[in-house]
């Protein structure tokens, strides 16, 4: 197993290869321990969310991901956190794997290795996830690795030009590719001054000339719009990653062929709604997640029923603070104490009876069917 892999499953046919990167430690940005501050730091500093986000995504891939036609082949994981990070081994009792830091050299080598793994089979699926600082200039986006700013004269030497990297993946024989970029895209003077240079693309963009190779499907999901920030809470998965994982669990699923599959179209519907709902968690800013090159890709088969995000609220909302919520279906039932902001639930698809009760009396009830991507249940309380 190469030094960036935390999972490697020998597969004979098409398989899924993931590259997961989380960068929270930046020695040359504010609060860093690199001994000096990068002169073009633009106010950026240490982050606590990206390592947690990357570990959560890698954990989901290792334990939940399922694709019968493209089973998990490998997970490469690079994490830069305040303290060294380990990832649990696949075999119980085996020592955990030490996770390599997301320095530029490591990210470059891991990316090249990942691409080579993708070359083994045209039907391979390639998953890319990055969480960390990002800087932008219009459509250009530089993803910043741990050692960003090591040299005042070459800050972008430790950044990845994401757009060109994405284009460079045309070189990969694995034609199903999906990218998730969870990073700020705020405008940065250093990119403007670099006149088109946005870091090392790692893979050189190329013109498609192999007519035998299938069409490349390459959706790229971004956590935020160009020019805006991505938000997170300290030591928690980011707002986007949290919504993404919830979407993998069910919000992003559809049963078009009778089985529940998470696909890229449904993910887009689900993630934005979940990010909007995150306002309840204290995220006050609007964060809109765009997607480029969206094409339909089946990413993950659910082993059971999807967990559908459901938001329940009394109307008027003031009643939430005094009402208890109950719900019941053949699949699940439950009760919740009064909650001023309403109730966020995850329920399997089914026909539910929802009821709000105050002082032992039912003040509102409603029958509603729940299925992905999400549902909102409004319980109208008579005045």
Partner 1 sequence: MSELHIRMPREFDEESVEVSLVGNVYSIDDDAKTALPHGKRNIVIEAGNTGHQNTLSIPKGRYLLEITMPSGQTIAQDFVMRDGETTEIEVEGQSSPREWLAYQHLAGNVSSLEESGDDDEGWLTTAFARGGALDTGPTKGAGPKAKAYWLLVDARKATLESSIAPKQLDAEPEDLQPTEMDPTAATFRVSAERAPEVWDDGKRGFVLVEAGKESILVAAPLPWEDIRSHRQAAFEVMTPKRSLAVSSMVRDSALGPMLAYMANGSLQPALHLAAKAEDMLFHKISNPLAAVGGACILLETATESGRKNWHGWIENLYRRKSHLPDSAIVYATLLLNHQKEDADVDKALGLLLEGGARGLPYYSRSLRLLLDGLTAFASDPDFKRRRDEVTAMLHDVERVAQRTNFRQIFTTIRLGRRR
Which residue ranges make up the site for partner 1 (CB under 8 A)? 137-140, 163-164, 167, 170, 187, 192, 196, 201, 204-209, 211, 214-215, 217, 225-229, 255-258, 265, 268-269, 272-273, 276, 284-288, 290-296, 351, 367-369, 371, 373-376
The per-residue DSSP string of 151-204 comes to STT-GGGGEEEHHHHHHHGGG-S--EEEEEEEE--EE-HHHHHTTT--SB-SS-
**H or E segment to which residue 109 belongs:** helix 104-118
In the complex, minimum distance from the CB of residue 253 to partner 1, in angstroms, rounded to a whole number: 13
Q: How far apart are CA 129 and CA 166, in angstroms?
A: 12
Q: How far apart are CA 264 and CA 267, in angstroms?
A: 5
Q: How far apart are CA 9 and CA 1, in angstroms?
A: 10
In the complex, minimum distance from the CB of residue 284 to partner 1, in angstroms, rounded to a whole number: 8
Please identify, using beta-carbon distances, which residue of 146 and 254 lies nearer to partner 1: 254
Q: How far apart are CA 318 and CA 291, in angstroms?
A: 36
Please identify, using beta-carbon distances, which residue of 3 and 123 lies nearer to partner 1: 123
In the complex, minimum distance from the CB of residue 100 to partner 1, in angstroms, rounded to a whole number: 28
Question: In 3-state terms, what secondary structure has residue 146?
Answer: coil
In the complex, minimum distance from the CB of residue 62 to partner 1, in angstroms, rounded to a whole number: 28
Please identify, using beta-carbon distances, which residue of 40 and 292 lies nearer to partner 1: 292
Please identify, using beta-carbon distances, which residue of 34 and 205 lies nearer to partner 1: 205
Residue 246 phi, psi (nearest 5)? -65, -35
In the complex, minimum distance from the CB of residue 351 to partner 1, in angstroms, rounded to a whole number: 6
Please identify, using beta-carbon distances, which residue of 80 and 238 lies nearer to partner 1: 238
CB 67 within 8 A of CB 125: yes
Please identify, using beta-carbon distances, which residue of 25 and 319 lies nearer to partner 1: 319
In the complex, minimum distance from the CB of residue 272 to partner 1, in angstroms, rounded to a whole number: 5
């Amino acid at each position: 197993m190469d030094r960036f892999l935390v999972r490697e499953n020998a597969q004979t046919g098409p398989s899924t290869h993931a590259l997961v990167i989380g960068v929270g430690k930046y020695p040359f940005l504010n609060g860093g321990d690199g001994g000096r501050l990068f002169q073009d730091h633009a106010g950026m500093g240490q982050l606590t969310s990206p390592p947690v986000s990357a570990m959560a995504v890698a954990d989901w891939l290792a334990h939940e991901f399922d694709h019968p036609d493209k089973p998990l082949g490998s997970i490469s994981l690079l994490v830069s956190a305040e303290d060294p990070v380990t990832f649990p081994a696949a075999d119980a009792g085996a020592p955990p794997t030490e996770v390599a830091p997301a320095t530029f050299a490591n990210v470059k080598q891991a990316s090249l290795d990942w691409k080579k793994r993708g070359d083994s089979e045209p039907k391979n699926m390639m998953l890319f996830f990055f969480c960390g600082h990002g800087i932008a200039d219009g459509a250009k986006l530089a993803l910043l690795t741990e050692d960003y700013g090591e040299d005042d004269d070459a800050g972008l030497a430790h950044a990845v030009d994401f757009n060109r990297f994405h284009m460079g993946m045309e070189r990969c024989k694995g034609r199903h590719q999906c990218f998730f970029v969870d990073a700020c895209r705020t405008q940065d003077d250093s990119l403007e001054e670099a006149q088109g240079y946005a870091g090392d693309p790692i893979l050189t963009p190329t013109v498609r000339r192999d007519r035998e190779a299938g069409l490349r499907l390459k959706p790229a999901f971004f956590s935020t719009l160009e020019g805006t920030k991505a938000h997170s809470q300290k030591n928690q998965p980011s707002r986007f990653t949290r919504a993404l994982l919830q979407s993998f669990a069910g919000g992003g699923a559809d049963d078009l062929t009778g089985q529940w599959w998470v696909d890229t179209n449904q993910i887009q519907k689900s993630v934005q709604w979940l990010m909007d709902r995150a306002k309840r968690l204290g995220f006050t800013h609007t964060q809109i997640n765009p997607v480029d090159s969206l094409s339909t890709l089946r990413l993950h088969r659910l082993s059971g029923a999807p967990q559908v995000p459901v938001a329940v609220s009394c109307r008027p909302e003031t009643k939430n603070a005094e009402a208890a919520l109950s719900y019941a279906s053949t699949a699940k039932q439950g009760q919740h104490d009064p909650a001023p902001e309403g109730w966020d639930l995850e329920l399997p698809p089914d026909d539910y009876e929802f009821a709000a009760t105050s002082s032992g009396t039912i003040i509102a009830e409603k029958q509603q069917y729940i299925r992905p991507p999400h549902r909102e249940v409004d319980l109208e309380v008579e005045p």
